[in-house]
Each structure stands twice: as structure tokens, then as C-alpha cells.
Structure 1
Amino acid sequence: MTEYLTSADGTKIAYERTGSGPSLILVDGAMCYRASGPARPLAKELAADFTVFTYDRRGRGESGPGSEISAERELEDVAAVAEEAGGTPFLYGISSGAVLAADAAARGIGVPKLALYEPPLIVDSEHREPLPADVLEQVTAMVSAGRNAETVSYFMKSVEVPGFAIVLMRLMPGWSKLKAVAPTLRYDFTFLRGLQQGVRPPADRWATVTMPTLVVDGGKSSAWMRTGVRAMADALPNATYRTLPGQNHLVKPKALAPMLREFFAG
């Protein structure tokens, strides 16, 4: 059942809770929301052991868009969900949502344990070309001009989706959903700024994330992704780095859930 809360700037945030047990918040990656992404299937896998909170990041699904593109607003949204979840929830994030979750934990919102799956850091140019320093400005210009389809294509290319696959995606019914949430990519590239340009993350960005943290990549993921994930683990003060065999960035909930269950329940 969909519930609603109000974030600090007055934006309506839609969320739902599933299961019973200690509270656990799932933070989606770029373009995803409750009705379109991995959060609901993962929540179903974990519901026997946790009260799982899934929510639509602002501008997606049933949440309001807000009036300002700012990483601060998204951090306030996570804090609002955390308060609704009792103030000391476990926190999990995937892809760009992993960076958002780590940044939220750094704010001291009361997270006792943190888990991250494949934060998309690009830390060297050996395995792939870094994104340009002005990627946020390019995305903002496309969105401002109403070129949402171009924005989606640009993002897909940035995560190395083959050109032929993007052409096929444009013919699928789900393409209209992707175009609808394309403006939210401005949020993702705002807090990913400086993390995809071929350098290691700043040493102090997550210095306060001292709670036990699980950082996971997939054994079948690209070399650049795994290198970036390891760099994220190295940048966190209390991280354990693990690899999930047979998985890639589109991790299967049934494969991931046992590792998360073991970590959060341990």
C-alpha cells in the first residue's frame, strides 16, 4: 500500500513498507522507482526478516518533483524516510543510489549498517573512458530543451549500453516511462560529480561513514565497474568488499538477498 510523507522542502514522497522486523530502506539507482526497477522484487525477498521501506525518489513514480535540482534535497528525502522508519534503519543502495545512500549515511541519520551494490565510480581510464567533467551541464541542457529521448540515450551510452540495444529500447513500450523520468538524471549526475572522471574519490567524502558497510560487485560486471567498486570500498572507513558470483549490474534479487540478509542480521 502506498503511503506518503513530506520532505523538508515540502515535496511529497511516496513510499511503501513490506514485511516485519528491523527497518531497512532500499535506495534505487538512476531511472528506477517502485513500479519500474529492482526494489519491489528485492523487498519481497527480504520481507520475512525485515520491514522493508521502498520509496520513489523525487520526480519519479508517485513522488513530487520538487522545485530545485540539488543533492541536498535528495539527502533530505532519505532522512525523511529514515525518520518514518524509526530513526535507525539499515540502509541499502544500488548503482547511483549507492552513492546517495553513502552520502546520506555520512550525514549521520542514524544508520547502524550500510550496504552498497555497484556504485558506478569511474576511477581510471584503463578500462573505459571517463565521463566528461561537464556531463551534468550537458544533461541539464538536453532536459531544459525538452529532449528527453536524447537524454535517455545519452545516459544509456554513458553506462555502455550498445547502440543497437538503445535502438531496440526505443521501440519497446517501456521507452515512454524512461523518457518521463529522464529529467531526474540531473539529480544523479549532481551527486556523482567528480566520481566518474577518472580519479579516486576524495578521502574525506565518507570519512564519517564509520558504521559496518558492505560493498558488493558482480563477478560478471565490467572491469571498470569492479575497479570503481573496490575504490569505493577503500574510501570507506569500515567496509567489507565482496563479489557476488555470476551477477552483473542488473543483479538478481534472489541472488543478492541472502548476502544482504546475512550482513544486516549478523
Structure 2
Amino acid sequence: MTEYATSADGTRIGYDREGAGPPVVLVAGAMQFRAFDPTTRELAHLLAGHGFDVVNYDRRGRGDSPADPPITLAQQVEDLAALVDVLTEGADDAVALVGNSSGAAIALAAAAAGLPVSRLVLFEAPLDEDEGPGGAEFLDGLRARIRAGDHDAAVEFFMRDMPPAWLAAAKAGEGWPVMTSIAPSLEADAEALAWTQSAPRADLWRGIRAKALVLVGSESLDLMHAAADSMVRALTDAERGTVEARDHRWEPRTLAMAIAAFLVD
């Protein structure tokens, strides 16, 4: 049954919680939320079976976390703070964050903002070069389409750097109306990616003391490898790993085993 945390501005954030042990929050990427993402639900269940207290939540503007736009990165951090409070019951305990794709950038922003983060697992964050202009330009382009109310164009624009076949398959599938319905929430994903280029990453992430595992798939796009190398260089304590995955998609059992091994190390 869906439970709810209340964010700083009163927005209710829907989540599932399973298991017992060290707390873990799964931070979804661009098109993910619980009713649309059975793969992450399975990952949460498997991690709970490995002995963790796992929260899988609907990010603001999706599923059981409805919210009016604009939806910002700062709000995403506040939402995570509310979930951390739920998991720790106001104690000083720290929580592990597992971020997928652009959700990895949101997890990094939360850690940099001072949330009590014990460890970070970051899977294929699609970052451009350190201090490059691409993120800000991308954010501006996405915002223009969202503000115009053209949600199809917004999702198409968001996916512009992915292989064309991925967009074609998405548009031909039954899930396209769902993807376009959450288009306003993509602004926070783009803002998080732009934030990673807003200053030298080593400076942005200097305050992050949590140990990080930066993961790429065994069959991955070139940009993911370059992004992973950049994150490992910029973070204070990070290691790179590879998991069985292709086309920016992972297998839940394999990823759960990699996460569990890292979190208990």
C-alpha cells in the first residue's frame, strides 16, 4: 500500500517501503515511477531481500506524487529530505541513495546539499563534459517546450541525444501517452544535469564525503563511459564498476547484487 511523506512545501510524496536493515532510497530517472516501472519495483524487492530498508518513491509530478509545475531540482532535494526523515525517524542516521540515469544527478545534488548520505550508487548518469555549456542550453530548450504546453515535443527533445531507434520505439509504444503526461517533471532532470556543469565538478562535490560506486553497463553508450570517468575523478571517494546492462537498462538481480555488495563492504 502506498505511504506518503510530506515535503517542505506540503506536497505529498508517494512511496513503497520494504525490508529491514540499513536504509536505501531509489532515485528514479527521467521516465520512471512505480506504476510505470516494474523493473525498479523488482530491484527494491530484491534489495529488501538482501537485508535493506528500501524506499521506492514516485518523484514529484509523477504517479502518486502529483504537483503543479514548474518542478525544480531544489524541490527534488526537499522531497528526498522528507523521505530521509521517514527512514531515520528524525535521528542522525544516514541513508544510501541509488540514482539511475538523471536520478543519479539528483542524488548527487542531494548529497552536495548536505543531506545525510551514507553511500551513493550512480548508474549511467548522462553527463556532458565538466563545465560545458550543453546542460544549460538543454535545460532552456526543454523549458521552452514545457512552458508552451507541447509535451510531445518536450519528451522528443529530452530524448534527442539517445539513439533515434529508442525514440521511435517509445513513440510507437503504448507507454508514450504516459511519458508525455509527466513531461513537466523532466525539467528537474534537465536542471540536475545542467547543475553538474555549473562549476567545476570537483568544487560542486567537494563536500560529498559518502563513498560512491559509479556504474556503467557492459554494453553502454560511449557518453556513459566518459561521464563515469568524470564522476570518479571529481568525487572525493569513488570507484567505478561494470554491471550486465545494455541500452541504458539493467537487469534487477545483477544490479541488486552489485549494490548490496557495495553497501555492506
Q: TM-score, normalised by structure 1?
A: 0.89
3-state SS of 1:219 partner: strand
Selected match of 1:74 from 73, 76, 92? 76
Q: CA deviation at 1:219?
A: 2.1
In structure 1, give the amino acid aligned to 2:191. Answer: T
Gaps of 5+ in 1: none
Separation in 1 of the partners of 2:123 and 2:242? 10
**Which residue of the partner structure matches residue 231 of structure 1?**
230
Q: CA deviation at 1:20?
A: 2.0
**Which residue of the partner structure matches residue 35 of structure 1?**
35
> Contact between 1:200 and 1:231, CA under 8 Å: does it hold in 2?
no
In structure 1, give the amino acid aligned to 2:66. Answer: G
**Which residue of the partner structure matches residue 139 of structure 2?**
136
Q: CA deviation at 1:144?
A: 1.7
**Which residue of the partner structure matches residue 123 of structure 2?**
117
In structure 1, give the amino acid aligned to 2:202. Answer: A
**Which residue of the partner structure matches residue 176 of structure 1?**
177
Cα 1:166–1:110 shift into 2, 3 Å: closer
> Contact between 2:69 and 2:185, CA under 8 Å: does it hold in 1?
no
Separation in 2 of the partners of 1:194 and 1:24? 24
> Contact between 1:70 and 1:190, CA under 8 Å: does it hold in 2?
yes
> Contact between 1:143 and 1:151, CA under 8 Å: does it hold in 2?
yes
In the alignment, is residue 147 of structure 1 matched against residue 150 of structure 2? yes
Residues matched between the structures, number: 258
Separation in 1 of the partners of 2:3 and 2:193? 29
In structure 2, give the amino acid aligned to 1:12. Answer: R
Tell me which protein shows more strand as a share of its residues.
2
Deviates more, 1:250-259 or 1:167-176: 167-176
**Which residue of the partner structure matches residue 249 of structure 1?**
248
Tell me which protein shows more helix as a share of its residues.
2
Separation in 2 of the partners of 1:201 and 1:194? 10
**Which residue of the partner structure matches residue 189 of structure 1?**
190
**Which residue of the partner structure matches residue 210 of structure 1?**
209
Q: CA deviation at 1:56?
A: 0.6
In structure 1, give the amino acid aligned to 2:141. Answer: Q
3-state SS of 2:121 partner: strand
Separation in 1 of the partners of 2:242 and 2:121? 13
- Percent of counterpart pairs with the same letter? 38
Q: CA deviation at 1:66?
A: 4.5
Q: CA deviation at 1:201?
A: 4.5
Selected match of 2:103 from 97, 107, 117? 97
**RMSD value, Cα:** 2.1
Q: CA deviation at 1:130?
A: 8.0
**Which residue of the partner structure matches residue 53 of structure 1?**
55
Deviations 1:46-94 (A, max 9, x none): 1111111011110011102145432111111111101101142221111
Separation in 2 of the partners of 1:146 and 1:168? 23
Runs of 4 or more off by more than 6 Å in structure 1?
none
**Which residue of the partner structure matches residue 113 of structure 2?**
107
Q: CA deviation at 1:16?
A: 1.1
In structure 1, give the amino acid aligned to 2:54. Answer: V
In structure 2, give the amino acid aligned to 1:106. Answer: A
Cα 1:195–1:110 shift into 2, 3 Å: closer
Separation in 2 of the partners of 1:30 and 1:165? 14
Gaps of 5+ in 2: none
Separation in 2 of the partners of 1:90 and 1:200? 25
Separation in 2 of the partners of 1:3 and 1:63? 11
Separation in 2 of the partners of 1:242 and 1:168? 29
In structure 1, give the amino acid aligned to 2:179. Answer: L
